[in-house]
Amino acid sequence: MNRRILIPLIMILFNYWGCSANSDEIPRLGLKIDPSYKIRLSEFADDIEYISLESNIPITYINNLAYDEAYIVSTVKKPLARYDLQGKLLNTYGAIGHGPQEYLYARTFAVNKSLQQVVIECQNRMLFFEITGKYLYSVDIKCRDNVRDIYFVGDNRIALFFDNTSGRAKYNWLVVDLMGNIIEEKHNSVMFSNPKNIAWSEAIITYKINDQVCYYEQFNDTVFALNCNNRVGKFVIDKQDHKFTPEWYMNYTNQAFTKGRVSNMNNYIFWPISFVETSDYFFVHYHGLDYKHNVAMCSKSDDSIVLNPKGKTGGLINDIDGGLSFIPKKCFSIKGDEYLIGWYYPYELKAHVASDAFKNSNPQYPEKKKALEKLANSLSENDNPVLMLVKLKE
């Protein structure tokens, strides 16, 4: 990966990836297309750890995951659950249902480390629990738009981010107090009518680095940080001819419905799925052609993100133990070390270790390859997912 140092690193870390209230001062990241571009885990990581989640509560699909000295996992048709660092179930939160202490799903939730609380959002209602699972109270959200993500902003405020899939969302985000009263709001400025109303979950992308909540609106180009008192720009993604616009999106959904998958575009459109930011890197999980998923990475000393839309690796190449390609979902600091985290389902691991690609691989750590094979063979396809922690180099 080519890296160009533009200014001394200390200035980059302070200014390039800091926050500027003046739009003229917000730094820019360009996009470059390189069909040969690949990234290997060993470029930035030096260890991998796998954690099998206890199967007391069956997890068919992980919707979301948070870390707070334990792993809190949301899944389908099951209550939110908390696991220790070894994957043992500690407690759950409420139950699935229509009662006052119940919810239908827990895709969106947030953790407040200071207050030791967890809040679950479901159908425009927030349910508050102690970290150990005791129910506290619930409040209604004074907005009927579909909530995409929820975060604590400080100890006494909550940020709610809304989907704009249909083009008719009233808000991009709201900041409310712990009783649901609106403190701050940002109205949606990109209105359109999508007659297909296709299910699409990436109209707004959010992530958290340390205590900073960041978001990116798909139809715009700036990554913002939402602090307790204001919204400030972190950086601009200069998409040039690769812009994702409402017009392109509506045309795409029409083609997708009438002609099946769209694999050949005259100009590639940058369609990110999620972002992960660490102390030194920025990772972009994005759609390639033919619905292939790919991951790009740039150092905080780079001035561009290199994309490979035709890439077929499905993620970052795992040359540490020869395992599956890796898609980072979150970044956490655990006991002073920085980790990327993702997950796999047992059937994926079992199929991979049985493949010729795995058997013929020559990873940097052969002993880790043997350990991965042993883990996969010990799993049942009905077991819960396995978390993959990738430790970043110091």
Can you tell me the distance from the alpha carbon of 21 to that of 187, in angstroms, rounded to the nearest whole number?
19
Tell whether 219 is covered by a domain.
Answer: yes
Per-residue pLDDT reduced to its tens digit, 265-321: 457 889 899 999 999 999 999 988 766 789 999 998 899 999 998 887 789 999 999
Residue range of the domain that includes 321: 9-392
- Residue 339: which CATH number? 2.120.10.30
pLDDT score, position 241: 86
Tell whether 3 is covered by a domain.
Answer: no
The owner of tokens 């769209």 is 262
Q: State the total domains in the chain.
A: 1
Provide the phi-psi class of 157: left if phi over 0, else alpha when psi is between -120 and 50, else beta.
beta
pLDDT score, position 27: 86
Beta bridge partners of 158: 152, 176
Tell whether 214 is covered by a domain.
Answer: yes
Neighbouring CB atoms inside 10 A of 270's CB total 22
pLDDT score, position 210: 86
Per-residue pLDDT reduced to its tens digit, 97-117: 998 899 999 989 999 999 999
Tell whether 104 is covered by a domain.
Answer: yes
Per-residue pLDDT reduced to its tens digit, 6-63: 333 333 333 445 555 455 578 899 999 998 899 999 999 999 999 999 999 999 999 9
Neighbouring CB atoms inside 10 A of 72's CB total 22
Band of residue 201 on the pLDDT scale cut at 50, 70, 90: low
Mean pLDDT value across the chain: 87
Instruction: Give yes or no for a contact between 75 and 384, defined as CB atoms under 8 angstroms apart.
Output: no
Q: What is the mean pLDDT of residues 218-246?
A: 88
Q: Give the lowest-confidence range in 147-156, 240-249, 378-387.
A: 240-249
pLDDT at 252 over 70: yes
Tell whether 25 is covered by a domain.
Answer: yes
pLDDT score, position 314: 85
Tell whether 2 is covered by a domain.
Answer: no
Tell whether 1 is covered by a domain.
Answer: no
Tell whether 32 is covered by a domain.
Answer: yes
Instruction: Give yes or no for a contact between 69 and 83, defined as CB atoms under 8 angstroms apart.
Output: no
Band of residue 381 on the pLDDT scale cut at 50, 70, 90: very high
pLDDT at 158 over 50: yes
